[in-house]
Structure 1
């Protein structure tokens, strides 16, 4: 029923399959531990810009990038801490670094466990020792991501974490959004707008944050493809971000643990005590409508 294999593409890629339910996932540990593809019953769930993915100088646009230790960007990419300034680029470094494969299992799911540990490179921009352990599980129409964040330093570790899933979508006007919020803020965070489920996809870019979410689930229906995509997330995640570009075949609905620049402002940031751990949960489920 469950199966895991490896292929050598541009990068070493792990293929997780639930063959009975025609569900297939591709994971690239050495490039940010990213899930690059998910195909269910012949349909692509995630979008991937394959040409950008091949270029190590460009950020990935597609799949499900991991965001840590920040979500979004900081003003001038500067993180101020302990009287010093550190350069942290947008969405942090976890999505760019190689992750280690810890274990695999096909007992109750197609499962792979990945780990990222602090090193000289991360300490130069983020002065905390840490260990992240992410468990990817594929079961039928569900992708489950269990996360553990471990502060291995002797000081309180502030961080935010999140995901940036790119959902394949050609006709955005065929979408029905169900986001548990009645307002959103713009990218700059200086204006708030009411939300009733509708967005104007004729804009060149939509980059908005729902900071006052009222439930641990969100979803959208793609009527062109006759599917519903449902997100479920643990209480670690306080913010949902919606992002898309005009003319691109994707939308991003992103669970973040803190809003943009939270590492500097302290807004909803997670402050993990020394030598302690916390956990997160994120699930995506795809069903027919």
Structure 2
């Protein structure tokens, strides 16, 4: 099935976004070089989660213990429902697009809160900026712990050479011999830097609420994931979550660029 793809561009950056498939960033080129891995078959199949690009993880990132949301007692699958929803385009221009979802009967059945979530994707000079703006139109506090799930290109044999400069991550942490799934605190500076062979130095500038980085890959697949989260899996059930008060709003953002080639 074909879905509308919106293309953005400014400066050194070109990006593609598919609103109907979870507002995903499906492609990102910097200086003409593609940065992201994408399994096209999963993008085309609405019954599958998209494997690749930059999926939006809302209202939480990771998997809940027993898939159970506390204290409401409902169940939700890994990474919530945002990546499975069709998002409505509310604004678009040559360098940016804004998309939105809001609570409805289906979301309230598993996440009994009123919300509006806007995903704004912008090409800014030499970087891609992704921003979630969560508004609480309801009369009760809204718990969230969102994030993103970028898939960066990396040959299987090169995964062992991926190095975290900030935060420090040793070579061999990621590898192609299994399914590495490793979490580390995000740098207090708010700037994460990873050296990825064949791609360059990934620099991610993060909003202050994004305090966790999850690294993951699959054997035989040419990608590594470096995922900015509010906190590790299950955070929405803990005091580390973000709570948006009634009538309030919360912004979470990340800015990604690639410096040089290795």
What TM-score results when the alignment is normalised by the length of structure 1? 0.84
* 1:172 aligns to 2:172 (yes or no): no
Counterpart in the other structure of 2:85: 97
Instruction: Report the secondary structure of 2:209's partner residue.
Output: coil
Contact 1:258–1:269, Cα closer than 8 Å, also in 2: yes
1: CA distance between counterparts of 2:249 and 2:150? 25
2: CA distance between counterparts of 1:96 and 1:200? 27
Counterpart in the other structure of 2:212: 239
Contact 1:99–1:116, Cα closer than 8 Å, also in 2: yes
State the Cα deviation string for residues 160-203 of structure 1 (Å, max 9, x = none): 1000000011122343322325xxxxxxxxxxxxx545515143
Counterpart in the other structure of 1:255: 228
Residues 1-289 of structure 1: pairs in structure 2 closer than 5 A: 10-18=2-10, 21=12, 23-81=13-71, 84-106=72-94, 110-170=95-155, 171-180=158-167, 196=170, 198-199=172-173, 201-211=175-185, 213-225=187-199, 227-264=200-237, 266-289=238-261
Instruction: Report the secondary structure of 2:73's partner residue.
Output: strand
Contact 2:159–2:176, Cα closer than 8 Å, also in 1: no
Answer 1 or 2: which has greater strand percent: 1
Contact 2:21–2:43, Cα closer than 8 Å, also in 1: no
- Taking a change above 3 Å as real, the CA distance of residues 197 and 218 of structure 1, as seen in their structure-2 partners, is farther
Contact 1:238–1:268, Cα closer than 8 Å, also in 2: no
Query: CA offset at residue 63 of structure 1?
Result: 0.4
Query: CA offset at residue 57 of structure 1?
Result: 2.0
Most deviating of 201-210 and 169-178: 169-178
1: CA distance between counterparts of 2:47 and 2:125? 35
2: CA distance between counterparts of 1:231 and 1:211? 14
- Taking a change above 3 Å as real, the CA distance of residues 172 and 279 of structure 1, as seen in their structure-2 partners, is same
Runs of 4+ aligned structure 1 residues displaced above 4 Å come to 195-198
2: CA distance between counterparts of 1:147 and 1:47? 22
- Gapped regions of structure 1 (runs ≥ 5): 1-8, 182-194
2: CA distance between counterparts of 1:232 and 1:282? 6
2: CA distance between counterparts of 1:47 and 1:135? 21
- Taking a change above 3 Å as real, the CA distance of residues 267 and 252 of structure 1, as seen in their structure-2 partners, is farther
- Taking a change above 3 Å as real, the CA distance of residues 158 and 200 of structure 1, as seen in their structure-2 partners, is closer
Query: CA offset at residue 40 of structure 1?
Result: 2.4
Contact 1:258–1:267, Cα closer than 8 Å, also in 2: no
What TM-score results when the alignment is normalised by the length of structure 2? 0.92
State the Cα deviation string for residues 90-133 of structure 1 (Å, max 9, x = none): 00001110111111233xxx011111111111111000010112
**Which structure has the bigger radius of gyration?**
1
Instruction: Report the secondary structure of 1:70's partner residue.
Output: coil
Contact 2:2–2:44, Cα closer than 8 Å, also in 1: yes
Q: For the aligned residues, what is the CA RMSD?
A: 1.9
